A and B are shown apart, each in its own frame.
Chain A
Amino acid sequence: MNAIQKRVRIAGGLILIGLLIELTSLLDPRPTPFAFFFFAGGAFLMLLGLMFYLVSIVFPSEE
């Protein structure tokens, strides 16, 4: 597995966890899941994953 594949995997992992948090947060219309999505990782992990992916395609590794 080369460096780009590793980065894609990490980005995918972060996005996947973010998506799963978003999915569970939609099951209950109360402030706890709302806070979970906005403050405890859901949106943050997805953004982090997206940034990681964008960086990996804009600045590809030379390996």
Chain B
Amino acid sequence: MFDEKLILIGFILISVVLVAYVIVRPGVTMARGGKMLAFVALLVFPVMAGSLGTVEHLRRSTSTEFCLSCHIMEDYGKSLHVDDREYIPALHYQNNLVPRDHACYTCHTDYAMFGDARSKARGLRHVYVNYFGTKPETIKLYTPFSTRECLHCHLGMRAFEEGATHTQDPTTLPKIKANQLACTSSGCHSTIHNVKGLKDVKLWEAPVK
């Protein structure tokens, strides 16, 4: 099928041609047909092109490539390739438990009512700090990682619901589901990106397709 980006580029090019025509021949706006043309060229097409462009940019800002293109994030990208199942992000990334091309955004968005909007606002702040602010030595999450983000996928999953460690104590699962027992900070799945230890670990190389 058609590539969305190509459609958008086509749309912008048509807008450019129409606007350029109105600029070169502003006299056409004196006639009724010319007024309609100017309305389409200067209002309808630019609004559509601008809106579609905004949607495309916001969609692309959720890609792994986008997140890892800032220098400060390089080690976090490398941590996705650690050849060790204890590294939770690496385990998810390498086994396609999260889509590889949207790996960061899949776990680091809030799966709540305004989650997407809040993540976008934080993302815009990151872009601002990257260019104009002071980059922190250590990156920290704004709020502790919520179990809700894990449960978005794991809730109802057989390996999660029937796993021996989760069912050994009958209170474990209810506590996890009530967000009283955190997956990542309870000592069970506590090796996350661990970027400071990256120089001592073996990295996995994804096979070339």
On A, residues with C-beta under 8 Å from B are 1, 4-6, 8-9, 11-13, 15-16, 18-20, 22-23, 25-26, 29-31, 34-35, 37-39, 42-43, 46-47, 49-50, 53-54, 57
Q: How far is the CA of A45 from the CA of B67 in the complex (A)?
A: 27
Contact for A29 among B43, B65, B124, CB less than 8 A: B65
Interface centre among B42, B56, B61, B69 (most CB of A within 10 A): B42
Tell me what chain A mostly uses at the interface: helix, strand, loop, or mixed.
helix
The reply on B181 being an interface residue by CB < 8 A is: no
B9 near A26 with CB under 8 A, answer yes
A42: chain B residues at CB < 8 Å are: 53
Nearest CB of chain B from residue A10's CB, rounded to whole Å: 9
22 A-B contacts, Cβ less than 8 Å apart? A1-B27, A5-B30, A8-B26, A9-B23, A11-B42, A12-B23, A16-B16, A16-B19, A18-B46, A18-B50, A19-B12, A20-B16, A23-B12, A26-B53, A26-B56, A29-B63, A31-B61, A38-B57, A43-B54, A46-B50, A47-B50, A53-B43
Chain B interface residue number, banded = 35 or more
Nearest CB of chain A from residue B33's CB, rounded to whole Å: 15
A22 near B26 with CB under 8 A, answer no
Q: How far is the CA of A43 from the CA of B56 in the complex (A)?
A: 13
Nearest CB of chain B from residue A11's CB, rounded to whole Å: 6
Contact for B23 among A13, A23, A35, CB less than 8 A: A13
CB contacts under 8 Å to A, within B14-66, are 15-16, 19-20, 22-23, 26-27, 29-30, 38-39, 41-43, 46-47, 49-50, 53-54, 56-57, 60-61, 63, 65-66
